[in-house]
Structure 1
């Protein structure tokens, strides 16, 4: 199980990731103006940017945890039920989402630094 605060900690640990309240209740995680994840505290769910291939794989492997996100699912975004999420899998999913929106130079620097996963 992952809490919303843990989700935020994982996402905000990525380089230049910031948090912004959007649509009055939704916390978005961004690099610059590009959103890579979002959620509403207390909802028990978050939405994470993914490729369509990764989305299909996650939905097939764990349909009780992952589903196609409302509105943006057709673009690959995944709705994650935090109560069933594996912390390491969520960490990897957030890192991939971050990579998809971060500047290429920043991604290269991050990968060259050999980041080690934090423990939850």
Structure 2
């Protein structure tokens, strides 16, 4: 996958807007960031729950890695875009979106 694929898929989710965080494009809902794109590094950082993070790391340890330090322990997770396919990216973005989306949008 490519960085532009992240934008295209993230913006399909309800209520999402693209902004910038520390010079990197990010994706937000209600002002809350759920994904930050590191274009040059071809990776996306996702706000997951620790449980979602653990699940994805077990499923695809070659694609996912916790962000170093306390942020990673809280669920923030790197996804290497180079080897990720659309299904992996879509599922990871959806999990991160659900982590910050208001219940009225999530439907759960």
Measure the CA separation in 1 of the matches of 2:88 and 2:38.
20
TM-score by length of 1: 0.81
- For structure 1, the residue ranges without an aligned partner over 5 or more in a row are 112-120
What SS class does the counterpart of residue 96 from structure 2 fall into?
Answer: helix
CA RMSD of aligned residues (A): 1.5
Task: Please tell me whether Structure 1 or Structure 2 has the larger radius of gyration of its CA atoms.
Answer: 1
Describe how 1:76-95 pairs up with structure 2 within 5 A. 76-95=75-94
TM-score by length of 2: 0.89
Q: CA deviation at 1:62?
A: 2.1
Equivalence for 1:48: 46
Deviates more, 1:5-14 or 1:89-98: 89-98
CA deviation string 1:55-114 (max 9, x = no partner): 112223322211001352111121010011121121011112111111111112xx7xxx
Describe how 1:1-120 pairs up with structure 2 within 5 A. 2-23=1-22, 25-71=23-69, 72-108=71-107
The answer to whether the 8 Å contact 2:52/2:95 transfers is no
What SS class does the counterpart of residue 95 from structure 1 fall into?
Answer: helix
Q: How many residues align?
A: 107
